[in-house]
Amino acid sequence: MTIDLQKPATIMRGIGSYVPSQVVDNEALSKKVDTSDEWIRSRTGIKQRRIATDKESTSDLAFNAAQNALKDAGLKANDIDLVIVATITPDMAFPSTACLIQHRLGIPKVACFDIEAACSGFLYALDIADGMLSSGRFNCALIVGAEKLSSIMDWEDRTTCVLFGDGAGAAVLAKTGKGPKLIGFKSGADGSNPTLLHQPAGGSLEPASLKSLENRGHFLKMNGREIFKSAVRVMGAAARDLIAENGLTEKDIDHVIPHQANARIVESLSQRLEIPLEKFFCNLDKYGNTSAASIPIAFDEATRASIFKKGQLGLFVAFGAGLTWSAVLVCF
């Protein structure tokens, strides 16, 4: 290991998450669509997911996760001077979900904005916040990954609706204090084939209309087979590049928290990176794919389980619609 752990780094002062109380297991889904518990488990590893009620929005989930992260950090709303929310299911096209939770949390009138990088969104947000904090113009950032994916699910399409769930995860970042250090970043994208995973209607290309509703264009569409192959390839490349750029090898990594998309993807990534599957933390069996929320929810749960030891190295890695990908190195 040659990485300089004494170098100034952005610190995760606090972490928090929130999931809706409503649990929908595979058996319940099998009553809605032509599927079964065995079919879903064998192909995805998912047993259940959390689904928000009609009265719960993405900002509600984000607000609760943010409160938990602030509490964990031992900080108050007026300590925050930057808010970034990663989501593909905002309450509305504008204003941003970040602005909505800023007001609700009582955060001062500081910089707030959303980013859209799908399942890579939370890691993109960490990367962006690190740069902004390192500029010296900001002191303490609230980063949230939040999704109400049930709001864009086609509940008649068994190939997609069984995969996703709702939830939110948040982190408080600063340049001072105690907590895991963010020590390296690698983000990228390839926009050459956007229809592999997309929501066709509702934007300026295909505004909402009777035709778009009839064509079910407002629901998530995915080419699962191609996404699987792309996911393993781009996450593997991003992880390897980041590890090498920091003078490390795969053997130096103690823990991996991957995007919680599919158990088969995680297994294939483990094989590609030659990092034992035992080092991967997964909770997708309980929550399904929560997109931008998946890594912070998993990280929060793993932290509560005390699986990390001081000085160990962790790898966060994700892919998402775009296609986007991102990897982050963490020293616990």
The C-alpha angle with vertex 66 and arms to 61 and 71, in degrees rounded to 5, equals 135
Q: Which of 119, 140, 282, 331 is catalytic?
A: 119
Is 218 a residue of the active site?
Answer: no
Residue type, 174: A
Please list, in sequence order, all residues whose beta carbon lies within 8 angstroms of the beta carbon of residue 22, skipping any fewer than 6 positions away.
Answer: 50, 51, 52, 53
99, 282, 289, 331: which one is catalytic?
Answer: 289
- The full length of the chain comes to 332
Catalytic-labelled residue, pool 68, 259, 262, 282: 259
Residue among 9, 4, 6 at smallest CA distance from 247 = 4
Closest CA to 95 of 120, 58, 127: 58
Q: Which tokens belong to 216?
A: 């079910």
Whether 119 is catalytic: yes
Q: Which among 259, 239, 258 is positioned nearest to 249, based on CA atoms?
A: 239
Q: Tell me if residue 255 is catalytic.
A: no
Q: Are 242 and 218 in contact (CB under 8 A)?
A: no
CA–CA distance, 131 with 35 (Å, rounded to integer): 45
The set of catalytic residues is: 119, 259, 289
